[in-house]
Structure 1
Amino acid sequence: MGYFALGDGAAVAARTYLGHYYGFSGEYAKHVISGAMKSRDEVVEAIGAFSAAGCDELIMFPCIADPEQVDHLAVAANLKPGSTQ
């Protein structure tokens, strides 16, 4: 499972969303926030790391409530929107 926020304001959006959701967990919240993917490079790196660990399915959760986040993720991961690759 991975959290992501891409585009303008991604870092702030991820910190705000995940900080609110995991705020009760103290240090764990900082860990989750720091692991959120906020750029194309981070998406590519995370997908590669999960794949290297044997993961063949990865669930990605957007930190920004905007359907365009799915398109941003598809571009970052070199997939076309609607693709099943």
Structure 2
Amino acid sequence: MLARRGRTRRPAGGVDTVLLCGASTSGCVRATAVDLIQSDLAARVVADACADRDAVQAEAALTDLRAKYCDVISERAARALLAAVEQGVS
């Protein structure tokens, strides 16, 4: 997502879903997921590719994301989604 001058631009190429991962699940990953949902884009957080200061915080953030905002998926599921897109199956 790109925010410029108070407007948000959608990604090019008909993107409607974003796979998220990162080193601050409770911070950046969660904030990005919320931003995506508010911009009418689907977010899927790849749990295996996220971390936080400690495991309890990471799991709490994933639980919150799962309950309120988006799908939380495994790396295996993410790879399957990407393979489907590459094959034009999505």
**TM-score of the aligned structures, taking structure 1 as reference length:** 0.34
Higher strand share: 2
**TM-score of the aligned structures, taking structure 2 as reference length:** 0.33
Higher helix share: 1
Q: Which structure: larger Rg?
A: 2
